[in-house]
Chain A
Amino acid sequence: MDRLQAFDYWAFQLINSFAGRFDELDFVLATVASDFFIPVGFGLILLHKWFSGTTSVQSIGNQKIVLLSLINMTLATALVFILNQWFFRERPFSAHDVNLIFYEPTDSSMPSNFAAGTMALALPFLKIGLKQTIMVIVMVLIGSVSRICVGIHYPFDVLSGFIVAILAIPITLTIGKYTDSVQHHTLRIARRLIPT
């Protein structure tokens, strides 16, 4: 366990060493790591997905992916919330001397809520195709690594966030399977108001 923690801290120091060197780089890192850049990017991708689709079948398929993504994100962040009730890990800046270029969050460092939420949004894209999934997963990786760079997460926090998102997938798919008729009716009402 100690060796794992030592490796985690070593990897953190390596990634965090990029921060605090150049103001421009710090600005980019803090912007990408912010609570707005990647989450809004995902919101826009889901919005585009909702309206894209050349056939009726493709459109319905895309909208179901949007629903699954939102369910999976809700589940993953709920799992993080439950885990945080009995497990708390201090943030890197609380325990060590780090290059901090971000505000100081007060919640548990592990598992990363950001990593779990964004990865949970990205994983249902596997149902559409590998190319789009790779694109969104690269976005998640950039966002998550930048949060290590700015000094608010250890690499294992991010990794455990990804694991939580992956663990949420079977639950999401089960919910998706048993709520198919509810999804169908919801989409039917939604398409009546917002034709696609």
Chain B
Amino acid sequence: MDFALAYFLSCFITCMGVLQVASVSSRTKYLRLFGPPLLRKTLGIGFIIIALPLFFLTGDRVLSDHEGGLDANQQAGIFTFAALISYLLTAIVSQFVWKSKINSSVLEPFRSRIYEYDSGELTFIKLQEKNWTDFKHLIIGRFNS
């Protein structure tokens, strides 16, 4: 398997695991993929443990960037991309599996003139739709004023 792809996959799986561990907190309930908190925590740690051998035991990983490895910038970029994809996938899958809503107290700091929402009604996708609408209104408002 290609070095960068193996690195991406292992980062993606570990990030999924970390998000499941983090979803134990009541503020990130919309990230849960499984029911009981203990199961989420156990499976999250399991994901992390599985991803390590997946990367380190499937080829020579002690390589410099001149020999087919990755330099620091590539590593950081791939890790960030993997974290973002794992976050989006977790949030979207969780929304469809559990119909999970974003806790209204989490959104409290965003109450503003341009941002109105019905608490308890907002899913992850609805929030992003709302963000996009607000962004458009904000930009149009700037041009009109």
**Residues in A lying within 8 Å of B, measured CB to CB:** 30-31, 33-37, 39-40, 43-44, 47-48, 51-54, 56, 59, 77, 102-106, 188, 191-196
**Residues in B lying within 8 Å of A, measured CB to CB:** 7, 10-11, 14-15, 18-19, 21-23, 25-28, 30-31, 48, 55-56, 61-64, 66-67, 69-70, 72, 75, 79, 83, 87, 102-103, 105-110, 124, 127-128, 131
The answer for the CA separation of A53 and B23 in the assembled complex, in Å, is: 10
Is B22 a contact partner of A56 (Cβ separation < 8 A)? no
Is B25 a contact partner of A52 (Cβ separation < 8 A)? yes
Can you give 17 A-B contacts (C-beta < 8 A)? Answer: A31-B62, A36-B7, A36-B55, A36-B61, A39-B75, A43-B79, A44-B14, A47-B15, A47-B19, A48-B21, A54-B25, A103-B62, A104-B64, A105-B64, A106-B66, A195-B30, A196-B27
The SS class assigned to the A binding surface is helix
> Which residue of the partner chain, among B18, B75, B124, contacts A35 with CB atoms under 8 Å?
B75
CB proximity of B75 to chain A, nearest CB, Å = 7
Is A40 a contact partner of B102 (Cβ separation < 8 A)? no
> Which residue of the partner chain, among A44, A104, A106, contacts B48 with CB atoms under 8 Å?
A44
Is A34 a contact partner of B61 (Cβ separation < 8 A)? yes
Is A51 a contact partner of B31 (Cβ separation < 8 A)? yes
Nearest residue, chain A, Cβ from B63 = A103
CB proximity of A196 to chain B, nearest CB, Å = 6
The answer for the CA separation of A170 and B145 in the assembled complex, in Å, is: 42
CB proximity of B135 to chain A, nearest CB, Å = 10
Is A35 a contact partner of B69 (Cβ separation < 8 A)? yes
Is B64 a contact partner of A36 (Cβ separation < 8 A)? no
The answer for the CA separation of A86 and B68 in the assembled complex, in Å, is: 29
- Given contacts A39-B75, A56-B108, A188-B109, is CB(A51)–CB(B28) below 8 Å? yes
Find chain B residues with CB under 8 A from A196 CB: 27-28, 106
